[in-house]
Structure 1
Amino acid sequence: MVDLTQLMENEAFMAFASYTTIVLSKMMFMSIATSFYRLTRKVFANPEDCSYGGKGENAKKYLRTDDKVERVRRAHLNDLENIVPYFGIGLLYSLSDPDLSTAILHFRLFLGARIYHTVAYLLPLPQPNRVLAFLVGYGVTLSMAFRLLKSRLYL
């Protein structure tokens, strides 16, 4: 059974919890940003949502795609594809008694990479900005996985 007092005293886990809360909040913000763009640009993906843009046959013209909406959606999807593995591997890594300064470096780099990736996606910044941000975040997750397997290999 997990002792919560012990868990709360684990500095690596508490750092992981803090940085992950920020990253997950950023990812949640992307849902709000998508909704904002859909409503302000009157661009909807489902017929039943078109009533926000107008009534009757006129509403159907809002059933379309838009570059800005799609850009926010793709940034959000990219978050989902990268933050979920980070969350699982980072959780296990933080519980494996890693060096605290190394763990915090991993968490900070991942957070910075995801924020920069979103900024690069939404502005948009020219490549290779977005790809470098992706690679940094992906590399951090791989590094944690490698360190976790190296220190706790039970295969």
Structure 2
Amino acid sequence: MSLLTLETPVFRAYAIAAALMVLKIMLQGWMTVYRMLKSKSGLASPEDVQKGLINKAPDPAQLEINDYVDRARRMHRNDLENIPAFLAAGLVFVTTAPSLLLAQLLFYGFVAARACHFLAYASKQSHEVRATFYTIGSLIVIYMALHVLWHMISG
């Protein structure tokens, strides 16, 4: 049986975690857009201050940094820096046929770490709090990558 099929419990666990993380990335982008529309500020590019259906009263001041919008943008950027590595390392990790319990701990641990990182960032917790959840997620991805390398070297 192929390891990369939804009939394989480890791959199913990965697929669930991966789908949740893809949704996290995509919805975070929409959060940024929502905040820009709500505040009518924090726009990113000069062409964004052209008159249109959405921006009926453009103003160059709309390009100034707005922390409400920029916080969402920073969270999105952080997701884009971390989640793709999880998606890649997790998929290759599945091919090593790890135990289901280990895979679930790692996959769902990463999802939980990213959710906690989001909550910490959104609620303006200290850098130390955010860094704790970043570190947990990062160590999970590093472990999976090292596990794959060890499997390849010793296999």
- What is the TM-score normalised by the length of structure 1? 0.88
Structure 2 match to 1:46: 45
CA contact (8 A) 1:30 1:72 kept: yes
**1:34 paired to 2:32:** yes
Alignment of 1:1-155 (within 5 A): 7-43=5-41, 44-50=43-49, 51=51, 52-55=54-57, 59-153=59-153
Kept in 2: contact 1:12–1:95 (CA 8 A): no
8 Å CA contact 1:53–1:59 kept in 2: the answer is: no
Does the 8 Å CA contact 1:53/1:62 hold for their aligned counterparts?
A: no
1:8 & 1:62 partners in 2: Cα distance? 47
CA apart distance, 1:5: 9.2
Structure 1 stretches of 4+ moved >6 Å: 3-6
Paired AA for residue 62 in structure 1? Q
Give the deviation of 1:27 after TM superposition.
1.3
Task: Give the TM-score of the pair, scaled to structure 2.
Answer: 0.88
- Structure 2 unmatched ranges of 5 or more: none
Q: Once superposed, what is the RMSD of the aligned Cα atoms?
A: 2.0
Task: Answer yes or no: is the 8 Å Cα contact 2:3–2:97 preserved in 1.
Answer: no
C-alpha separation between the residues in 2 aligned to 1:38 and 1:62?
9
Which residue identity is paired with 2:97? D
1:54 counterpart letter in structure 2: K
Aligned length: 151
How far the C-alpha of 1:71 sits from its partner, in A, is 1.0
Give the 3-state SS of the residue equivalent to 2:153 in structure 1: coil
Does the C-alpha gap of structure 1 residues 107 and 5 become closer, same or farther in structure 2, counting only changes over 3 Å? Answer: closer
The Cα shift of 1:6 comes to: 6.6
